[in-house]
Structure 1
Amino acid sequence: MITLIAAAGENNELGKDNDLLWHLPDDFKRFKKITSHHFIIMGRKTFESFPNPLPNRVHIVITRDRKYGNVGAEVVHSLEEAIEKATSKKDIFVIGGGEIYKLAMDVADKIELTRVHGTFEDADTFFPEFSEDEWKLISEEKHGKDEKHKYAFTYETWVRK
């Protein structure tokens, strides 16, 4: 199963300058729980935004740079190559950025989307649009603002129809 996992604002905003636009500790915990012990596929910029590789996950980094290597992750040069590297009984999670999500949208089986209830005009990276004609919302869990979360958000799980 190939799952896109992301947190996006009301207008599909993902981030700015290779960083998130919000801090949602409960979403980080959920991301860790869902992706641990699985393959995570990402672009080079997303990988480089981490201070260290994320524990208990196999990192597969897609880059056009043929000289990019030995970085604590498997390095590939296409989405197809990334998926081939991830062949096992473990699930595959695509974790960004925007261009990688676009590439993976056609092959994804599921979307785990944290919809952040806010708009972020200075965003420079976006989650791709997707149609309810192709995707069905199967669960949602609302989370309000609180002392640790500046924005309300909803966990949404979508599956391909």
Structure 2
Amino acid sequence: MIIMIAAVAENNALGENNKLVWHLPNDFKRFKTLTSGHHIIMGRKTFESFPKPLPNRTHIVISRQKDYHPEGCIVVDSMEKALAICPENENSYIIGGGEIYTLGLPFTDKIEITRVHNSFEADAFFPEIDLEKWEITESEFNKKDEKHLYDYTYQTFFRKIT
């Protein structure tokens, strides 16, 4: 199954200057739990935003740069090539950024969103989720606290069968 996973603001903001504009430790834990042991697909800028490759995951980086070969990563030049590398009977995750989410949406079966209940200035945005094509199957609200400056909701969407 191809799954998109993202933390997204009310205005679909993802981040600015290749950084998240919020800090939600519980979301990081959820991301780690869901993606560990799986293939993760990302754009070059998203990969470069990490201090080092994420442990216990196969990194597939989409880049148009011909000479781009970060250690420990598989580099391809299209979403189709990235998806072809992923095992057919396992979950694989598309983890960003904005352009990669847009490219990956037509291939996605499930979306895991952490909806951050605020709007932010940003230069990267998640594509609009068309509720004619997607349905929310789970929703879990979380109140802000001393470690989380914003309320947030975990939302699971599945593509509607047509």
Q: Do they fold alike, i.e. is TM over 0.5?
A: yes
- Which residue of structure 2 lines up, in the alignment, with residue 14 of structure 1? 14
CA offsets, 1:58-96, max 9 Å, x none?
A: 000000001111432100000000011113433110000
String of CA shifts for 1:77-127, please: whole Å, max 9, x gaps: 00000011113433110000000000000110000000000010x211000
TM-score, length-scaled by structure 1:
0.97
Q: Residue 81 of structure 2 corresponds to which residue in structure 1?
A: 81
| 1:143 matched to 2:160 | no
Letter in 2 for 1:123: A
Distance 2:115 2:70 in 1: 34
Does residue 157 (structure 1) correspond to residue 156 (structure 2)? The answer is yes
Partner of 2:115: 115
Cα pair 1:5 1:93 within 8 Å, conserved: yes
Alignment partners' CA distance in 2, 1:45 and 1:74 = 15
**1:60 matches 2:73:** no
Deviates further, 85-94 or 149-158: 85-94
Please show how residues 39-54 of structure 1 align to structure 2 within 5 Å. 39-54=39-54
* Aligned equivalents of 1:117, 1:103: Cα separation in 2: 25
The answer to whether the 8 Å contact 1:37/1:90 transfers is no
* Alpha carbons 1:62, 1:76 under 8 Å: kept: yes
Secondary structure in 2 aligned to 1:106?
helix
User: TM-score scaled to structure 2, two decimals?
Assistant: 0.97
Distance 1:62 1:110 in 2: 20
In the other structure, the counterpart of 1:71 is 71
- Aligned-partner Cα distance in 2 for 1:46–1:102: 14
Q: Secondary structure at the match of 2:106?
A: coil
- Is residue 37 of structure 2 the alignment partner of residue 37 of structure 1? yes
Structure-2 separation of matches of 1:73 and 1:90: 19
Supply the distance in 2 between the matched residues of 1:70 and 1:104 (Cα, whole angstroms). Answer: 22
Q: 2: CA distance between counterparts of 1:114 and 1:70?
A: 29
Give structure 1 stretches of 5+ with no counterpart.
none
What is the aligned-residue RMSD (CA, Å)? Answer: 0.8
- Structure 2: state its 5+ residue gaps: none
Aligned equivalents of 1:4 and 1:133: distance in 2?
Answer: 18
Q: Distance in 2 between matches of 1:15 and 1:4?
A: 16
Identity %: 56
